[in-house]
């Protein structure tokens, strides 16, 4: 077999083309490329495989990765993806299409995204969802910039909860290097105290465009979002809630709590972990903030005959129309992941989604209790949060290792046994996630592994 | 207002079957969108990126258990650097625009490190919208330079705006007219002379592989759209991936983390002067797998053949349409070219939008229209190397037929499309009475 070649044109046809153009070779067509920078030798790229060799080679790379029983989260979760989802995602009408700039030829993508937007609005209790962002981290950074824009440059500061996903905080910091905003990281108490007398050392309340909080936070804990929202509004700032959207099936929607912008990571809705990407950033807002939103938005309209249809709308916010005055530079987004999320949410509906979330939370609760019962783990309380250790309400929790030996050694031991026990977030603190895919036997293995290690390290 | 009740699997499948039937994909027909490089998406790559050894990988698992993934990333980064002539690559950016952002933030950091904060970025008037939008997102002001009558940078105009307040010059090369900047070495040197960086928007890399290493033209950084040049699918708008390649001078500023090889082991490292993180985790990994597989299939020779064929096919279509439409830059193009519908507009009131919609009736996706902005009634055509000659000929024939129809039956063109699931949609109404979700009117806001 010969190497893969996705071109269709034969040598003879190429001769016909060159003849029609009126040149003898491709070289005559690229005379604008200065000769000093022409490449005269071949690129040093290994390749030229046929399909058999390619499948073999890439298969070997895949096989070099070890599949572990996953108890890690941190924004990327090992949820079950119903098999039919990938059959939808693999339909070439969807995945080979470009951005739906020609709506008459793109009603499928447009309606699918519209349905995704509707589902996200309902989950978050917000009026508008955009068509997707890259991931939760960039969604949060762009939400913060949106708030600063809303304050028309008069309030350059965003105050972010220290309990947000640390990667998201890092991205926020990077985005602030532009000088378009200033970030300030604070505890929930300090955030709620901004603008009050007890706010020593905290920012001036008149400069704050928004307050950013996790729902739940990085450690799976529900901090007092209602109070934070109230405090934000009291100083004239927006409240931005970064929420795990699956858990919204169980808890109060951020919109009901008064959030102005709700954003985060929706990889949980039908996208595989894939080493962390592509996930699905989502971003929802109240109606009054709609025109400040970044990215594409699909809207309803009708055609020349009055029939229903969908188009990209409010394009005057976007880079291709507004250029340097656009609300963001985002162009390609994560549309196919949004399409998968739409299909996932259509299938599950409210009850199905709640059932998935419930199963995750119950699994987490069970593992939490069993880990505490080993005596090798103790509840982890981050300073600013009073949490009732008996009630894990998320499917992710942090625990402090108090057993013999070290958490690092325990972690390595479990990994050797094929278990990824979570994410080590501090020397002795483990962040553990339990999805609906984790069965009782896997939980047993985890707990037994801890006990066995503790016994051996003692 | 909660989600509605769930649906059975067959109901969901039928619904998406219905939606798919109302979508035009690359498998449906030719998709000559200029600047978008709508080439065939190899199916083997779709299979490979779905191998469980990739999809089931958690990004936080110990790197010792993810060596295959890291090796793939390391080699992809190295290959992209080899193709473009740069020293180092980040695979983190999620799309082209995100790559632009990453690079400009690196320029900002490098300038600040030498105590030389600057205010502006120069872009030509042919630039894609993401370029000025990125400039703004990075806290800079845009200076636009006009192109000359050849469609390339006007050196005098450039000289006039270049000063020590300029952080960077951002160019697409070949540019969005499909033309290679003949004075590119001079242009990047002019930028360097005032201490500015030269950025290449690499959206049009499909014209250059194996022909020139664009870093040698004096650029300091470029982004690559893997969802264009490297055959990863566009997904109806994404996800893509926008790796950025940089010179060794800028490598210490790359976003964290980068993959390195240390004594047989692949590891993640944080560059010495990193700009920080630009996203969660490492990159759009499954898109990286597709691009890697594409590279390993084609190899050096295959890549060069891709670029040559892309150039030949574009010139073939160009020469066959030369008399039917106005051609504002009538000279050899790279992988794409622009036409203008001015003649049709003047003679019969038929606009480029009408021509685009009529093409849909002929079974073709329209070209990119009304971009770049400097061409009146612009149509930007990029056939790509994967289209068969028969299809190119059918497209040429359809374009010629439409040019004839424009004078014989303009009403039909105004009324196009007639054969699609919907007629022309009212975008103005959509923006006026905004409905972006099916919600009861009382939704809290
Ligand atoms: C010239 C040019 N630059 C930048 C971009 C932006 O790329 P992306 O959509 O991947 O962000 C595009 C794609 O549309 C482009 O054509």
C-alpha distances in angstroms, B399 versus A407, B159, B227, B357, B419? 68, 40, 27, 12, 17
For residue B89, the model assigns a pLDDT of 98
Q: What is the CA radius of gyration of chain A?
A: 26
Cβ-based contacts of B177 with chain A (< 8 Å)? none
Cβ-based contacts of B44 with chain A (< 8 Å)? 4, 51, 54-55
Written as one string, the DSSP assignment of B333-388 is: -SS-EEEE-HHHHHHH---HHHHHHHHHHTT----EES-STTSTTEEEE---TTS-
For residue A385, the model assigns a pLDDT of 57
Contacts of B129 (CB under 8 A, 6+ apart): A318, A319, A320, A321, A322, A323, A326, A331
Tell whether ipTM is more than 0.95. Answer: yes
Assign A326 to helix, strand or coil. coil
Q: What is the residue with the minimal CA distance to atom 12 of ligand 1?
A: B203
State phi, psi for A303 to the nearest 5 degrees: -95, -175
How far, in Å, CA of A349 to CA of A343, rounded? 10
Q: Identify which of B133, B72, B87 has the alpha carbon closest to the alpha carbon of residue B253.
A: B87
For residue A387, the model assigns a pLDDT of 53
Find out whether A292 and A284 touch, Cβ atoms under 8 Å: no
Residues with CB under 6 A from ligand 1: A 331-332; B 35-36, 95-97, 128, 130, 172, 176, 201, 203, 225, 240, 242
B227 CA: nearest ligand 1 atom? 10
For residue A2, the model assigns a pLDDT of 85
Find out whether B314 and B336 touch, Cβ atoms under 8 Å: yes
Contacts of B96 (CB under 8 A, 6+ apart): A331, A332, B130, B201, B203, B223, B225, B228, B240, B242
Which of B134, B365, B445 is facing A286, going by the closest CB pair?
Answer: B445
- Report how far ligand 1's centroid is from the alpha carbon of A101 (Å): 14
Residue of A nearest to B275 (CA): A174
Shortest alpha-carbon distance between residue A162 and chain B (Å): 17
C-alpha distances in angstroms, B113 versus A457, B48, B169, B261, B292? 48, 42, 19, 27, 34
For residue A383, the model assigns a pLDDT of 57
Residue A53's CB is within 10 A of a number of other CB atoms, namely: 16
- Report how far ligand 1's centroid is from the alpha carbon of B130 (Å): 7
Q: Identify which of B412, B345, B399 has the alpha carbon closest to the alpha carbon of residue B375.
A: B345
Note if the bond before A124 is cis, omega within 30 degrees: no
Contact B277 A127 (CB under 8 A): no
- Report how far ligand 1's centroid is from the alpha carbon of B243 (Å): 12
C-alpha distances in angstroms, A419 versus A28, A71, A438, B59? 60, 8, 11, 14
Residue from B35, B98, B384 whose mutation best tests the ligand 1 pocket (most atoms within 8 A of CB):
B35
> What is the β-pairing status of strands A281-285 and A128-129?
antiparallel
Find out whether A332 and B130 touch, Cβ atoms under 8 Å: no
For residue A382, the model assigns a pLDDT of 73
Contact A333 B182 (CB under 8 A): no
- Report how far ligand 1's centroid is from the alpha carbon of B128 (Å): 7
How far, in Å, CA of B354 to CA of A102, rounded? 12
Residue from B33, B128, B222, B238 whose mutation best tests the ligand 1 pocket (most atoms within 8 A of CB):
B128
Q: Which residue stretches of A375-435 are H helix? A: 407-416
Number of C-alpha atoms within 13 angstroms, CB side, residue A362?
Answer: 10
Which of A65, A99, A323 is facing B129, going by the closest CB pair?
Answer: A323
For residue B445, the model assigns a pLDDT of 39
Contact A303 B295 (CB under 8 A): no
Assign B290 to helix, strand or coil. helix
Instruction: Please list the pLDDT of chain A residue by residue as tens digits (458 residues).
Output: 689 999 999 999 999 999 999 999 999 999 999 999 999 999 999 999 999 999 999 999 999 999 999 999 999 999 999 999 999 999 999 999 999 999 999 999 999 999 999 999 999 999 999 999 999 999 999 999 999 999 998 999 999 999 999 999 999 999 999 999 999 999 988 888 888 866 656 689 999 999 999 999 999 999 999 999 999 999 999 999 999 999 999 999 999 999 999 999 999 999 999 999 999 999 999 999 999 999 999 999 999 999 999 999 999 899 988 899 899 999 999 999 999 999 999 999 999 999 999 999 999 999 999 999 999 999 997 755 555 444 679 999 999 999 999 999 999 999 999 999 999 999 999 999 999 999 999 999 999 999 999 999 98
Shortest alpha-carbon distance between residue B436 and chain A (Å): 4
Mutate to test the interface with A, among B35, B436, B439, B441 (most CBs of A within 10 A): B436
- Report how far ligand 1's centroid is from the alpha carbon of B104 (Å): 15
How far, in Å, CA of B335 to CA of B315, rounded? 8
* Residue A133 falls in which region: left (phi positive, over 0), alpha (psi -120 to 50) or beta: beta
Shortest alpha-carbon distance between residue A209 and chain B (Å): 17
Residue of A nearest to B180 (CA): A32
* Residue A11 falls in which region: left (phi positive, over 0), alpha (psi -120 to 50) or beta: alpha
Shortest alpha-carbon distance between residue B350 and chain A (Å): 18
Q: Identify which of B69, B106, B360, B205 has the alpha carbon closest to the alpha carbon of residue A62.
A: B69
Contacts of B160 (CB under 8 A, 6+ apart): none
Which of A29, A45, A179 is facing B311, going by the closest CB pair?
Answer: A29
Cβ-based contacts of B215 with chain A (< 8 Å)? none
Residue of B nearest to A246 (CA): B3
Shortest alpha-carbon distance between residue B341 and chain A (Å): 18
For residue A458, the model assigns a pLDDT of 85
Q: What is the CA radius of gyration of chain B?
A: 23
State phi, psi for A432 to the nearest 5 degrees: -120, 135
Assign B153 to helix, strand or coil. strand
Q: Which residue stretches of A162-265 are H helix? A: 166-176, 188-193, 225-234
How far, in Å, CA of B396 to CA of B380, rounded? 14
Which of A92, A311, A323 is facing B133, going by the closest CB pair?
Answer: A323
- Report how far ligand 1's centroid is from the alpha carbon of B223 (Å): 10
What is the DSSP code (8-state) at residue A113?
H
How far, in Å, CA of A449 to CA of A232, rounded? 45
Q: What is the residue with the minimal CA distance to atom 7 of ligand 1?
A: B96
**Which portions of chain B are predicted below pLDDT 70?**
441-445
How would you class B371 by CB atoms within 10 Å of its CB: exposed for 0-12, middle for 13-18, buried for 19 or more? buried
How would you class B441 by CB atoms within 10 Å of its CB: exposed for 0-12, middle for 13-18, buried for 19 or more? exposed
Q: Identify which of B237, B441, B373 has the alpha carbon closest to the alpha carbon of residue A312.
A: B237
Q: Identify which of A450, A449, A131 has the alpha carbon closest to the alpha carbon of residue A315.
A: A131
Note if the bond before B418 is cis, omega within 30 degrees: no
Contacts of B325 (CB under 8 A, 6+ apart): B339, B340, B341, B343, B344, B379, B399, B403
For residue B126, the model assigns a pLDDT of 96
Q: Which residue stretches of B6-51 are H helix? A: 9-21, 43-48
How far, in Å, CA of A283 to CA of B100, rounded? 22
Note if the bond before B177 is cis, omega within 30 degrees: no
Find out whether A85 and A343 touch, Cβ atoms under 8 Å: yes
Contact A102 B366 (CB under 8 A): yes
Contact B58 A76 (CB under 8 A): yes
How far, in Å, CA of B292 to CA of B51, rounded? 14
Contact B239 A336 (CB under 8 A): yes
- Report how far ligand 1's centroid is from the alpha carbon of A231 (Å): 40
For residue A200, the model assigns a pLDDT of 59
């Amino acid at each position: 077999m010969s190497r893969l070649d996705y071109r269709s044109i034969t040598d003879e046809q190429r001769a016909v083309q060159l003849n029609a153009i009126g040149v003898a070779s491709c070289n005559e067509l690229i005379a604008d490329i200065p000769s000093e920078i022409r490449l005269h030798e071949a690129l040093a790229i290994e390749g030229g495989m046929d399909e058999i060799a390619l499948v073999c080679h890439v298969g070997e790379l895949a096989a070099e990765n070890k599949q572990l029983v996953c108890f890690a989260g941190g924004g990327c979760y090992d949820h079950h993806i119903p098999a039919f989802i990938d059959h939808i995602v693999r339909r070439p009408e969807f995945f080979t299409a470009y951005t739906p700039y020609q709506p008459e030829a793109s009603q499928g993508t447009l309606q699918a995204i519209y349905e995704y937007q509707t589902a996200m609005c309902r989950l978050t209790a917000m009026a508008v969802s955009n068509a997707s962002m890259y991931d939760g981290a960039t969604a949060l950074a762009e939400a913060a910039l949106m708030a600063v824009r809303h304050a028309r440059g008069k309030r350059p500061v965003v105050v972010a909860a220290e309990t947000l996903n640390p990667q998201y905080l890092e991205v926020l910091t990077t985005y602030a290097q532009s000088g378009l905003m200033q970030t300030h990281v604070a505890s929930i108490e300090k955030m709620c105290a901004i603008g009050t007398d007890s706010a020593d050392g905290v920012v001036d309340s008149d400069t704050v465009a928004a307050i950013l909080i996790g729902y739940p936070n990085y450690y799976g804990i529900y901090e007092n979002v209602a109070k934070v929202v109230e405090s934000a509004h009291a100083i004239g700032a927006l409240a931005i809630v970064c929420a795990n959207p699956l858990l919204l099936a169980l808890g109060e929607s951020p919109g009901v709590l008064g959030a102005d912008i709700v954003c985060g990571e929706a990889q949980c809705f039908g996208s595989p972990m894939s080493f962390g990407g592509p996930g699905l950033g989502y971003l929802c807002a109240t109606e009054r903030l709609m025109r400040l939103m970044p990215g594409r938005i699909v809207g309803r309209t009708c055609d020349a005959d009055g029939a229903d249809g969908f188009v990209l709308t409010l394009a005057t916010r976007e880079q291709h129309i507004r250029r340097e005055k656009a609300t963001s530079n985002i162009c390609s987004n994560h549309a196919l992941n949004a399409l998968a999320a739409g299909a996932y949410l259509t299938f599950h509906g409210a009850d199905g989604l709640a059932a998935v979330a419930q199963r995750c939370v119950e699994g987490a609760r069970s593992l939490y209790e069993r880990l505490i019962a080993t005596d090798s783990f103790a509840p982890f309380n981050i300073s600013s949060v009073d949490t009732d250790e008996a009630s894990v309400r998320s499917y992710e929790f942090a625990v402090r290792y108090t057993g013999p030996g070290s958490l690092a050694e325990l972690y390595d031991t479990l990994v050797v046994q094929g278990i990824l026990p979570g994410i080590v977030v501090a020397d002795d603190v483990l962040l553990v996630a339990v999805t609906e895919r984790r069965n009782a036997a896997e939980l047993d293995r985890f707990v037994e592994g801890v006990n066995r290690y503790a016994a051996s390290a003692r | 207002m909660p989600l509605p009740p769930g649906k059975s699997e067959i109901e969901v499948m039928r619904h998406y079957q219905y939606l798919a039937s109302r979508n035009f994909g690359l498998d449906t027909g030719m998709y000559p969108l200029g600047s978008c490089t709508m080439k065939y998406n190899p199916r083997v790559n779709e299979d490979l990126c779905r191998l469980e050894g990739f999809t089931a990988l958690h990004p936080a698992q110990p790197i010792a258990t993810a060596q295959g993934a890291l090796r793939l990333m390391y080699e992809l980064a190295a290959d992209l650097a080899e193709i473009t002539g740069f020293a180092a690559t980040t695979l983190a950016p999620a799309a082209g625009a995100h790559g632009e952002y990453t690079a400009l933030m690196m320029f900002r950091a490098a300038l600040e490190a030498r105590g030389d904060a600057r205010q502006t970025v120069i872009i030509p008037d042919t630039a894609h919208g993401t370029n000025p939008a990125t400039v703004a997102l990075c806290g800079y002001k845009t200076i636009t330079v006009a192109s000359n009558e050849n469609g390339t940078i006007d050196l005098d105009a450039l000289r006039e705006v270049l000063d020590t307040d300029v952080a960077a010059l951002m160019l697409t090369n070949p540019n969005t007219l499909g033309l290679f900047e003949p004075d590119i070495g001079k242009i990047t040197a002019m930028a360097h002379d005032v201490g500015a960086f030269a950025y290449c928007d690499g959206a049009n890399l499909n014209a250059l592989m194996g022909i020139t290493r664009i870093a040698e033209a004096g650029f300091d950084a470029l982004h690559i759209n893997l969802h264009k040049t490297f055959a990863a699918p566009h997904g109806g708008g994404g996800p893509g991936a926008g790796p950025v390649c940089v010179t060794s001078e800028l490598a210490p500023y790359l976003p964290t983390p980068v993959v390195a090889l240390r004594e047989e082991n692949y590891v993640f490292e944080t560059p010495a002067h990193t700009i920080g993180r630009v996203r969660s985790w490492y990159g759009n990994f499954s898109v990286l797998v597709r691009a890697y597989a594409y590279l390993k299939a084609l190899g050096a020779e295959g890549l060069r053949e891709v670029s040559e064929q892309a150039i030949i096919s574009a010139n073939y279509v160009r020469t066959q349409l030369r008399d039917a439409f106005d051609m504002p830059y009538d000279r050899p193009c790279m992988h794409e070219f622009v036409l203008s519908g001015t003649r049709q507009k003047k003679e019969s009131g038929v606009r480029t939008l009408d021509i685009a919609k009529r093409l849909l009736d002929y079974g073709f996706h329209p070209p990119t229209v009304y971009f770049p902005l400097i061409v009146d009634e612009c149509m930007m055509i990029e056939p790509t190397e994967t289209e068969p000659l028969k299809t190119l000929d059918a497209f040429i024939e359809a374009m010629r037929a439409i040019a004839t129809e424009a004078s014989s039956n303009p009403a039909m063109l105004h009324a196009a499309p007639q054969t699609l699931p919907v007629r022309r949609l009212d975008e103005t109404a959509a923006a006026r009475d905004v409905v972006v979700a099916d919600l009861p009117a009382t939704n809290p806001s």
